[in-house]
Structure 1
């Protein structure tokens, strides 16, 4: 269990860093991330409590948290995702062409 806890701490640290980068940008995206972060924390705590009451072991709870952390890491690392990339390319393209008209 100690290894799982250490891995969870390491992985969560990476997610926190990615989240802070997103929050520091500000705007609507940062506000949405903050709301999502709070709702995820509440949901995870309720799920862990329910699992403990149902007899889950500490290892199972840590495994659940690691799955959530991995999902967040994948989502927050989404700058490489096609949708975000396409949107950024479209913006760059439209700025380039609007500058040519002036």
Structure 2
């Protein structure tokens, strides 16, 4: 009975850590300026709007908070992989 709440808490904590990693990589890229920074800034804003819409749709269709967190974690991990390749 407690396990689902524990897992949600751990997943949310991991999302926070993973997000900070992506934020750091993005800030480093943005600080360099140039066309790559412009593309990343636009991608970042677009991704956030799409992700928020997907989360709202998931919740409106009977999804769970755990599903929303899992979706965000997938996106954040994909960004971390993509940004770490640019180094």
Is the shorter-chain TM-score for this pair beyond 0.5, marking a shared fold?
yes
Q: What is the number of equivalent residue pairs in this alignment? A: 80
* Alignment deviations for residues 40-99 of structure 1 (CA, whole Å, 9 cap, x no partner): 00000000000000011100100000000000001101136xxxxxxxxxxxxxxxxxxx
Q: Which of structures 1 and 2 has the larger relative contact order (alpha carbons within 8 angstroms, sep 6+)? A: 2
After the TM superposition, which parts of structure 1 deviate over 6 Å for at least 4 consecutive aligned residues? none
Unaligned runs of 5+ in 2: 1-7
Q: With structure 1 as the length reference, what TM-score do the two structures score?
A: 0.76
Note the 1:65-84 alignment, pairs <5 A. Answer: 65-79=72-86
Unaligned runs of 5+ in 1: 81-102
Larger radius of gyration: 1
Question: Which residue of the other structure, out of 46, 61, 65, is the alignment partner of 1:54?
Answer: 61
